Amino acid sequence: MVTSILGPRYAVLSHLLLEDLGFDAAGLISLIVALLTFGTAMKYFFARMNQLWNFYLSASMTIDEGDELFQMVLDWVSTEKF
């Protein structure tokens, strides 16, 4: 499978690495694929957790500038130390 993806040069490189250095390139490729898969899974997992956090555990509100409550909230927010 790796040969079909990387082409015929992979077989030559793999053979040289195995014969000269005793290093199996297939193991390295498997490790790289596993790390990429794990990284992609974590990206989607944390994106979903962020969506759930924002939906269930945060709040927002909108007050029109013409509303009398607008100035009161603005004054309150400006005096609070968050």
Domain-located, residue 74: no
What would the mean pLDDT of 4-11 be, rounded to a whole number?
A: 70
What domain range includes position 39?
A: 2-57
In a domain, 16, yes or no: yes
Q: For the chain, how many structural domains are there in total?
A: 1
If pLDDT is split at 50, 70 and 90, which confidence band does 4 have?
low
Half-sphere exposure at residue 19, Cβ-oriented, CA atoms within 13 angstroms: 6
42 belongs to a structural domain: yes
- Give 54-78 pLDDT, tens digit per residue: 999 999 889 999 999 999 999 999 9
Q: For residues 70 and 63, is the Cβ–Cβ distance under 8 A?
A: yes
User: Which amino acid, residue 56?
Assistant: Y
Check residue 47 and give its pLDDT: 98
Q: Is residue 82 part of a domain?
A: no
